[in-house]
A and B are shown apart, each in its own frame.
Chain A
Amino acid sequence: GQNIDQPTEMTATEGAIVQINCTYQTSGFNGLFWYQQHAGEAPTFLSYNVLDGLEEKGRFSSFLSRSKGYSYLLLKELQMKDSASYLCAVRDRGYQKVTFGIGTKLQVIP
């Protein structure tokens, strides 16, 4: 099975940088997702990492270390609209199910 841990809440200032960490323990691993979910809306895809290292996509970057069971999502130049929950999710080795963490609720303040 999968066990995924991430902080439940974070607060950061507009224009700043924030790093949201995610650790996981898994019996099989085939990639890690980050999703953004605004209140009352469906999750939207941000990134997918299957190899170690940093993937950059505009203001958002995602990092993975498979040996450490660790990932982080880095958000730069924070904007008020970035206030949302950020979900870390792990896909198992059989390409089947994706298991989600509890999500980190990020509040961006002026």
Chain B
Amino acid sequence: SAVISQKPSRDICQRGTSLTIQCQVDSQVTMMFWYRQQPGQSLTLIATANQGSEATYESGFVIDKFPISRPNLTFSTLTVSNMSPEDSSIYLCSGRTGGDNEQFFGPGTRLTVL
């Protein structure tokens, strides 16, 4: 199994600013993902973070709004750009190893945009 940590755990931000969330895994994972979970709802996949190349975004999410980096197999960042109150949500990093059917989640970053 893998242990995933995220920074910050929570933040309160002003409209129009940007926040970068960091995700660190304690072992190498082949796949890393970023999810969003809005209050009272389930998890929605934002994108798959690809090492050394552009992330693969799901429908409704674009790189200009949610730029993602993944410089190596254990680290990724998600930036929420030009924030609005609608971006208030929990953002979760997730990872999966190659031969492992289990997908692990970080503790999440609780973002509030005023």
Q: Which residues on A are within 8 Å of B, measured CB to CB?
A: 31, 33, 41-45, 48, 50, 87, 89, 95-103
The distance from the CB of A23 to the nearest CB of chain B, in whole angstroms, is: 15
Residues of B within 8 A of A89 (CB): 43
Chain A binding surface SS class: loop
Chain B binding surface SS class: strand
> Which residues of B, 69-114, contact A by the 8 Å Cβ criterion?
92, 101-108
Residues A103 and B108 in contact, CB atoms below 8 Å apart: no
Residues B42 and A103 in contact, CB atoms below 8 Å apart: yes
Residues B43 and A97 in contact, CB atoms below 8 Å apart: no
Q: Which residues on B are within 8 Å of A, measured CB to CB?
A: 31, 33, 35, 41-45, 48, 56, 58, 92, 101-108
Residues B43 and A43 in contact, CB atoms below 8 Å apart: yes
Inter-chain pairs besides A41-B108, A42-B108, 7 sampled, C-beta below 8 Å:
A33-B103, A41-B107, A43-B92, A87-B42, A96-B31, A98-B45, A101-B42
